[in-house]
Structures are given as C-alpha cells and as structure tokens.
Amino acid sequence: MVEVPVEEYLCARIRRAEQALMAHHEAVLRTYGLTMTQYTVLLALSRTDGRSGAQLARACGVSQQSMATVLNGMRAKELIDRKPSATHAKVMIVTLTDSGRDLLDRAYREVIVLERALTDRFSADEHRRFCEFLDRATATLVEQTPATPAR
C-alpha cells in the first residue's frame, strides 16, 4: 500500500471543511438561541411548510426520536406549531409560526454572509466547477457507503 500523507486525503479535507462550516454556523446560530438542527427544521419548513416529524428527521439527518425532542423544544419557544394530519390520525403536521419565520429570516441574513464570502473566493467558472466536484464527491461517498441491513 502506498503511504499518502494525511494532509492529502480528500476525505480529511472534506471533513475539515465540514467542521469549519459547522463551527461557523453553530457560532452564528447560538446568538439566535438555535441549534443547527433547529435551524435546519426552520429552513426545511420555509421551503415546504406542513411536514411530518418523520419527514423533518430525514431532512435533518437525525432519528425520529431526536426530532421529537427538537420539535418539542421548538414548540415551547413558539417557533413551530403542530396539528393532527387531516389524512393520518397519528401523524402530527409541523408548520412555521410567524415567530419562527421571523427568527429564521434574521438568522439566515447572517448565515448567508458566509455563502457569499465563499462564492466570492472563486471565479464564476471555478465556482461552477467546484460545485460539480463537490457533487461528484458526495455521489461517490453515498455510493461507497454500505447499506444498513434491514432489521
């Protein structure tokens, strides 16, 4: 096996970038009293309001049990509302409240500053190519991830 310095591993670079991104977002969101998962819930609901807890759990990459805890906290802060589904008696549908939408708007204005700063680091062609590279890397990571056996 050829020894490659850890600094050259693509996975290590992707992980460092992800850690830096999360640290930035968490620091910004902390000033709004939000966790990354709560922010992601607000963002997901702003794009498609009226989702189930299971749908939000998948969108945020957390378990349904974890999402239930997150949603309970967000409801206590009056950021979301939960009502029974018209079609499924046991399913609760989550919607944004005006307070939740307002908090998301304020937090988003600060989070988007990083997106613009990153975009400004690249020419238009570099940005397009970089996005293509990231998409290819993501596809490879997904393809190479072993399937979880059904229980």
From CA 45, how far away is CA 74, in angstroms rounded?
13
From CA 103, how far away is CA 42, in angstroms rounded?
9
Examine the pLDDT at 89 and tell me if it is beyond 90. Answer: no
From CA 114, how far away is CA 103, in angstroms rounded?
18
HEC-encoded secondary structure of 48-67: CCCEEHHHHHHHHCCCHHHH
Position 10, amino acid: L
Of the pLDDT bands very low, low, confident and very high (cuts 50, 70, 90), residue 86 is confident
Digit-coded pLDDT (tens) for 28-74:
999 999 999 999 999 999 999 999 999 999 999 999 999 999 999 99
Examine the pLDDT at 113 and tell me if it is beyond 90. Answer: yes
The whole-model pTM stands at: 0.81
Residue 126 has what pLDDT?
Answer: 97
